[in-house]
Structure 1
Amino acid sequence: MLDALKVVTIVIVGMLVGVEFSVAFVINRILGALPEDSNQLGRAHGGRMLGALMPFWYIGSLVLAAAWAVARWQHPGTGLVVTGAGLLVLSVVMSVLLLVPINNRSKTWTPENRPADWKEQSDRWDRYHYARVAVLIAAFTLLAAAALA
């Protein structure tokens, strides 16, 4: 049972990292190469679509990591799992405090109603997102290492 929990946790967190990495380094660069209106509309649509899915994915990843930590308490590698889960907590806190407020505004923007500083707000979201991706990669790495311990 513990082996299945490890695998499911690593797969779910790994897919989360992959999606968020793709947003940061592929999708946003594609959108950035589009004309201004298309860029902004694409980001708004992505914000609505992923904004609806990500809370479940982030919390689900955290619950799985926490369950793994509890299930293997006092076994080798538990510290790695706990630290990985702690980084997932940090990613959720970063999301709620830094990224979600910008996303909640930007997902409603159209070329007709967007604020004059929409690009600056999008750039700020991107910077916060890069930091969150780094935290997620670290969490995934620790969980993967714990599976080998």
Structure 2
Amino acid sequence: MMTALAVVALVLAGLVAGTMTVGLVAIRPAMHSLPVASYITVKQAFDASYPRFMVPLQLAALVASLALTVTAAVGDSTTSAALAGVGFVSLLTNVIVTVRGDLPINIAMASWRPEEPPADWERHRVRWDRFNAIRTAAAVTALVLLAAAATGV
């Protein structure tokens, strides 16, 4: 049972971490090379579709990592339980940073007119990029910790 949970948790956390890493290292630089009107238009399109995929994925990864933590703890696999627990906290951090950091900025950006961005639009983009980097690091950290937990399974 614990091995199956470890596989599920790893796959889900890997999808979260992988999607966010691709966004950070590939999509973000491409977006930053666009003229401001195009950047806003594309960002608004991403923000309309991305949550439909990521919200269920992030929640499923949280549930799977918590289930792995509990199963490892009940099965007296203390090291695996501790690693999975910290992985869970890392995934929870990912979700909190998304909800408290990125999402409010996304909501504000949804109302922007691409041809007339607010004067401080770059400041918002820098803040969003910072939150995105933090949540991506949290997701990657979770993946590494869950992989370490799985080796003790």
Q: Do Structure 1 and Structure 2 share a fold, with TM-score over 0.5? A: yes
* 2:57 paired with 1:57: yes
Deviation at 1:142, TM superposition (A): 0.4
Deviation at 1:106, TM superposition (A): 1.4
Same amino acid, percent of matched pairs: 30
Residue by residue over 1:50-94, the C-alpha shift from the partner in whole angstroms, topping out at 9 and shown as x without a partner, is 133322221111011001111121214110001110111111111
- Of 94, 97, 112, 1:94 maps to 97
CA-atom RMSD in angstroms: 1.5
Uncovered stretches (5+) of structure 2, i.e. residues with no partner:
none
Residue by residue over 1:16-61, the C-alpha shift from the partner in whole angstroms, topping out at 9 and shown as x without a partner, is 1111011111111111112221111111111111133322221111
Partner of 2:32: 32
Uncovered stretches (5+) of structure 1, i.e. residues with no partner:
none
What is the alpha-carbon distance in structure 2 between the residues aligned to residue 71 and residue 113 of structure 1? 53
TM-score (norm 1): 0.92
Query: Contact 2:69 / 2:80 at 8 angstroms: preserved in 1?
Result: no
- Of 102, 109, 113, 1:106 maps to 109
What is the alpha-carbon distance in structure 1 between the residues aligned to residue 25 and residue 111 of structure 2? 23
Query: Contact 2:66 / 2:88 at 8 angstroms: preserved in 1?
Result: yes
Partner of 2:125: 122
Q: Which segments of structure 1 move beyond 6 Å, counting only runs of 4 or more?
A: none
Partner of 2:17: 17
Distance 1:115 1:52, change over 3 A: farther
What is the alpha-carbon distance in structure 2 between the residues aligned to residue 143 and residue 27 of structure 1? 26
Deviation at 1:108, TM superposition (A): 3.6
Distance 1:64 1:146, change over 3 A: same
Deviation at 1:136, TM superposition (A): 1.2
TM-score (norm 2): 0.90
Partner of 1:84: 87
User: How many equivalent pairs are there?
Assistant: 149
